Amino acid sequence: MFDRLPRLNPDPILGLSAAYRSDPNPLKVDLGVGVYKTEAGETPVLACVSQAEAALLEEQTTKVYTPPAGIEGANRAAAQLAFGADHSVLTDGRVATVQTPGGCGALRLAAELIAKAKPDARVWVSTPTWANHIPLLGSAGLTLREYPYYDFERHCIDFDAMYSALEHAGKDDLVLLHACCHNPSGADLTQAQWQALTELAETRGFTPFIDMAYQGFGQGLEEDAFGLRLMAERLPELVLATSFSKNLGLYRERAGSLSIVSNSPTGAEAVLSQTLSLARGLYSMPPSHGAAIVERVYHDDALRGLWLSELAQMRERIHSLREKLVQALNSRQSQRDFGFIAHEQGMFSFLGLSQPQVARLKSEFSVYMTDNSRINLAGINTSNLEYAADAISAVL
């Protein structure tokens, strides 16, 4: 049976990571894989997480399954962080939230729910978007359409083209939007643009499908949720996938959630029942450890305060790295102004290099990034900034 399956090429980003690890060059720089790193080049366990885990270890008496919807306190935390504790969709009982195996699990569970509710639904995704959006949604049988988003020449959102394309989205369509820290471009919608898209959704009837993987990494927890909260307030339905991989550093713990906003409490109850049925057929029960950490950190005042401080430090470090990289690149050459990097949000940015230039960076300088020149700013630190800037300037 299985000997008839062809060998597939490695995932491009995972393959890039493997090439970096095997490179013997002591000056090598990894700007590819999308995880947060400290000045020491490590992806840390946050202090708030360590303290929560220690308390959980002391208290835990069983490894019995979690409830089908997951840990209630973690679900409440996810919903309140996303929408705001006093948002009308929560106080009116219009939100159904279930715990999922990471943000990927939330996206796939949402895709299965959409396919069940409307098999011929179309999901519009940005060009570009996070690479895994396509297989996660498409493998559920959904039809995908693309809308223009990032202008690679001007290094900004092409909002006019985006808006014009979405004028063709209808009531049986969903539009996938990045809540903040757009992956892979780093170019985020302004509040005015969120307002315009909300009005367009009201007119055309499409449903927002929002992926919020980096809440707190852009401007702040509240600011990064602006568009989501606006759309939830104004529209009858909304789909939200959230992740704690980045803002709590729980990458390997796969802590995420799926929240569906319905037009009534009765509708939310029906959606919850359908979502749990689908989850049962996909992964049965959600994992416990990551969600238990989320519950503990969010609802413990001391741990929550510590988390907010650590999150602010990560966010401010990324902002600082953007400014330092712009200064380093612009001081070395006059062919290109890299000032746009400082105006973007989150960990990612496109340098605007060609594939041959990216290949030279890898082969001649051991500076690793994806073929489209997307970089993870968190891979830069004091020890490699000058070297990376020299290498990038050399291939221009």
The per-residue pLDDT for range 211-243, each reduced to its tens digit, is 999 999 999 999 999 999 999 999 999 999 999
**Alpha-carbon distance values, 380 to 113, 342, 373 (Å):** 40, 14, 15
Token pair in block for residue 41? 């080049």
Give the active site residues.
130, 211, 246
Predicted confidence band of residue 313 (pLDDT cuts 50, 70, 90): very high
CATH topology of domain 13-45+313-395: Aspartate Aminotransferase, domain 1 (3.90.1150)
Q: Which of 243, 248, 298 is nearest to 106 (CA)?
A: 243
pLDDT digits (tens, 9 = 90+) for 93-107: 999 999 999 999 999
pLDDT at 13 over 80: no
pLDDT tens-place string over residues 101-152:
999 999 999 999 999 999 999 999 999 999 899 999 998 899 999 999 999 9
* Structure-token pair, residue 203: 């007119």
pLDDT tens-place string over residues 279-289: 999 999 999 99
What are the Cα distances from residue 71, in Å, to 39, 109, 199, 289?
A: 34, 17, 35, 10
CB 384 within 8 A of CB 27: yes
Q: Per-residue pLDDT for 182 more than 80? A: yes
Q: Retrieve residue 1's tokens.
A: 């049976």
Please, are residues 283 and 258 in contact by the beta-carbon 8 Å criterion?
Answer: no
| Burial environment of residue 116 by CB neighbours within 10 A (0 to 12, 13 to 18, 19 or more) | middle
CA angle 328, 331, 337 (to 5 degrees): 90
Distance from C-alpha of 32 to C-alpha of 19, rounded to nearest angstrom: 11
Per DSSP (E only), the strands in the chain are 29-30, 95-101, 122-127, 143-148, 150-151, 156-157, 173-178, 207-212, 238-243, 255-261, 348-350, 367-368, 374-376
Q: Amino acid identity, residue 36?
A: Y
The closest alpha carbon to 376, from 356, 346, 344, belongs to: 346
If pLDDT is split at 50, 70 and 90, which confidence band does 7 have? confident
pLDDT of res. 14: 75
Rounded-to-integer distance, Cα 266 and Cα 303, Å: 35
- Predicted confidence (pLDDT) per residue in 250-261, tens digit: 999 999 999 999
Average pLDDT, the chain: 95
The architecture CATH gives domain 65-299: 3-Layer(aba) Sandwich (3.40)
In whole angstroms, give the CA distance from residue 62 to residue 185.
44
Residue-wise pLDDT tens digits, 321-340: 999 999 999 999 988 999 99
Summarised one tens digit per residue, pLDDT across range 346-371 is 999 999 999 999 999 999 999 999 99
Q: Which residues, at least 6 apart from 297, have a Cβ–Cβ distance to it below 8 Å?
A: 48, 49, 52, 248, 303, 304, 307
Does residue 204 have a pLDDT over 80? Answer: yes
Average pLDDT over residues 362-390: 95
48: confidence class by pLDDT, cuts 50, 70, 90: very high
* Domain extent listing, the chain: 13-45+313-395, 65-299
pLDDT at 309: 98
